[in-house]
Amino acid sequence: MATNAARVNDPSTIRRLYGRRAGHKLRQGQAQLIEELLPQIEVPDGPLSSEDLFGDRRPLHFEIGFGSGEHLGYRADLLPDHGFIGAEPFLNGVVGALTHVREKALGNVRLHMGDALEVLERLPDASLRFVYLLHPDPWPKARHAKRRMMNHGPLDLIAAKLAPGGEFRFSTDHPIYCRWAMMIMHQRSDFRWIAESARDMLERPGGWPETRYEAKARRLGHEVWYFRYQRV
């Protein structure tokens, strides 16, 4: 676990969401999803648990910044008896996730449009089976490193909420962020890197779908790196 000094000025203390919140204007059907479906599956206020969110005890997964919801929707459809929580500040991304929920009739998804860390804090410790952080904004300039989600403050929180043996998955197509993440994770003793060879970080694990963002990155000639860490 990182010291308090290492947490200063990272996302867990700054608590500011950077970047735009909306893109193109929503079409009528998309606006209807926000107005009608989102309130039905939105993460409620107050303390959270599997029972609060899904009415029973089940393994919980949490995705930080789910983009258009492709990975979230795929995993939720693959594991219908598990519960999936996704947090995303971008309005059009939330619309994308809602579209997957509607088209696949996913009853095991709850969404939060806003800060993922605020929701994580309200979950019981050791309550999560998986946490996903896929292709986060790399903030490549050195002066913006404090904005990266791969910092000790957020990782302290993720570690607290993951059950022993739980898994944290991270991916990026940005070489600066890849090196940064490896450096940060190397400093931690509460996660074990699940890798047996260098190929493990270059090949997408089973049950991990390719998203449109990842496909675009590959078309642009970017390498993609995959990381799996077990909570110890």
C-beta separation of 155 from 184 below 8 A? yes
Tokens 């990266």 found at: 148
Pick 9 or 115 by higher pLDDT: 115
Active site residues: 137
Q: What is the average pLDDT score of the chain?
A: 92
Question: Hey, CA dihedral for 208, 68, 64, 176, is it positive or negative?
Answer: positive
- In angstroms, the Cα distances linking 187 to 146, 150, 156, 182, 192 are 16, 12, 12, 9, 11
pLDDT tens digits, one per residue of 212-226? 999 999 999 999 999
Instruction: Give the pLDDT of residue 28.
Output: 83
pLDDT tens digits, one per residue of 25-68? 788 889 999 999 999 999 999 999 999 999 999 999 999 999 99
Q: How confident is the model at residue 10 (pLDDT cuts 50, 70, 90)?
A: confident
Question: Is pLDDT above 70 for 69?
Answer: yes
Tokens 């944290």 found at: 168
Instruction: Give the pLDDT of residue 204.
Output: 94
Rounded-to-integer distance, Cα 32 and Cα 15, Å: 30
Instruction: Give the pLDDT of residue 21.
Output: 54
The mean per-residue pLDDT over the stretch 189-216 comes to 94
Question: Is pLDDT above 70 for 19?
Answer: no
pLDDT tens digits, one per residue of 125-175? 999 999 999 999 999 999 989 999 999 999 999 999 999 999 999 999 999
Q: What own/partner pairs with CB < 8 Å and gap ≥ 24 does 42-50 have? A: 42/110, 42/111, 42/112, 42/113, 43/85, 43/87, 43/110, 43/111, 43/112, 43/119, 46/122, 47/122, 48/119, 48/122, 48/123, 48/124, 49/123, 49/124, 49/127, 50/83, 50/127
SS3 of 190, please?
Answer: coil
β-strand 225-231 against 191-193: which pairing, if any? antiparallel
